[in-house]
Amino acid sequence: MGHGFRKELIYMLLELRPQFLRFPGISHHDEVDTIIIEPFVKDVLDSLEFARGSAESTWGSVRSAMGHPERFPLKYVAIGNEDCGKEFYRGNYLKFYDAIRKAYPDIQMISNCDGSSRPLDHPADLYDFHVYTSAANLFIMKNKFDRTSRIGPKVFVSEYAVNEQRDAGKGSLLASLAEAAFLTGLEKNSDVVQMASYAPLFVNDNDSTLVPPALLLFISNVLVGHNWNPDAIVFNSWQQYGTPSYWVQTYFRESSGSVIHPITISSRYSDSLAASAITWQDSEDIFLRVKIVNFGPNAVNLTISSRGLQDGVNTAKSTVTVLTSGNFLDENSFSEPNKARQPLFPSQVVPVESELPNAAEVMEAVLPPFSFTSFDLALDQYSKLVAEM
């Protein structure tokens, strides 16, 4: 396929349904004064012409000569990486922004500066937001963008993960549950959060070097060596497995382009819960998907109420999928690639799907301790649902 990955790794990536490639660069130390930035601006414009220019252009012809006359669908450019606040960032940013906007007015420009708390002092289509923290902090951040301004640039959460060692290990269930809770918040705020990217995506178990490319989902990912934990996919020369964080990503494959749906959850343990609901469809059916994280040590009895279904639930096609394990610090490994999987078998951490015979507009459910559960209710009367929303 020309990508250099083993077939099994590519299959794992395709299961996540990534939207596009991200190639982050990093310096953190060196800066260039704005008065001498022009050669770098020209270099970026030449690079964009290589990707986007016609086959007759100077750099587009180089691309064509390499066997790819078609233009690449490059739609986004991030100017810098964690550079906001540096002495010359704003001046340099404006130089790049103006030049790229003039040459490619359709390209979306991403600022390094966080606009979630206060407005940016420069133009941008999106702004970059990074967070690496403890499981408890990320769980609380499920509400991070609830009060973010809906006016101005959208949010690109380009790097997020639980990376505090005592919580994350090399990829624990606990870390993945906090990330799942954070994602439910991003999903509910998708009017302002345009994209999100789990980081890191890949790690070679035998490697400790930093490798930059990242695959981006709706809701994607950065590639590094094992000097960074956790990672979504761990591989060596002949094996691979997904950490619990990888399996959490699969719950959100249908999020892009879906419709947020209102639900009510009643439980005495509401402080330990995070939830979101969407309607989505496959080639045959339309579903209401209710995702709920139980971030606490107790099994939770709850009532889920979904407005507007009008008894249009097909119980025969409805399912429930659970990610949990016997210990919230359980991890997967080459010897036990699916350890954090089976809720009935503590020795085994990947999602387990089963039938949902009590699927209904209002239904009772029990969430295992430290678990992520997805209720997929097949809808028979979707047209009526849409009419009443």
- Asked if residue 320 has pLDDT above 90, the reply is yes
In which band, very low, low, confident or very high, does the pLDDT at 52 lie, cut at 50, 70 and 90?
Answer: very high
The yes or no reply on domain 259-388 and CATH 2.60.40.1180 is: yes
Topology of domain 7-250, CATH: TIM Barrel (3.20.20)
Active site residue 38: no
- Asked if residue 75 has pLDDT above 80, the reply is yes
**Of the residues 82, 187, 331, 336, which is catalytic?**
82
Q: Which pLDDT belongs to residue 131? A: 96
The answer to whether the beta carbons of residues 228 and 175 sit under 8 Å apart is no
- Asked if residue 185 has pLDDT above 80, the reply is yes
The answer to whether the beta carbons of residues 280 and 254 sit under 8 Å apart is yes
- Asked if residue 209 has pLDDT above 60, the reply is no
The Cα-based distances of 223 to 11, 232, 302, 345 in angstroms read 17, 9, 39, 32
pLDDT digits (tens, 9 = 90+) for 114-141: 999 889 999 999 999 999 999 999 999 9
- Asked if residue 307 has pLDDT above 90, the reply is no
Domain boundaries along the sequence of the chain = 7-250, 259-388
Q: Which pLDDT belongs to residue 337? A: 61
Rank 10-19, 175-184, 278-287 by mean pLDDT and report only the highest: 175-184
Q: Which pLDDT belongs to residue 311? A: 55
- Asked if residue 366 has pLDDT above 50, the reply is yes
Pairing outcome for strands 20-22 and 273-281: unpaired
The Cα-based distances of 168 to 80, 84, 130, 162, 339 in angstroms read 28, 28, 17, 6, 15
- For residues 179 and 17, the model is more confident at 179
User: How confident is the model over 252-278, as a mean pLDDT?
Assistant: 88
pTM: 0.87
User: How confident is the model over 47-71, as a mean pLDDT?
Assistant: 97
Q: Which pLDDT belongs to residue 310? A: 56
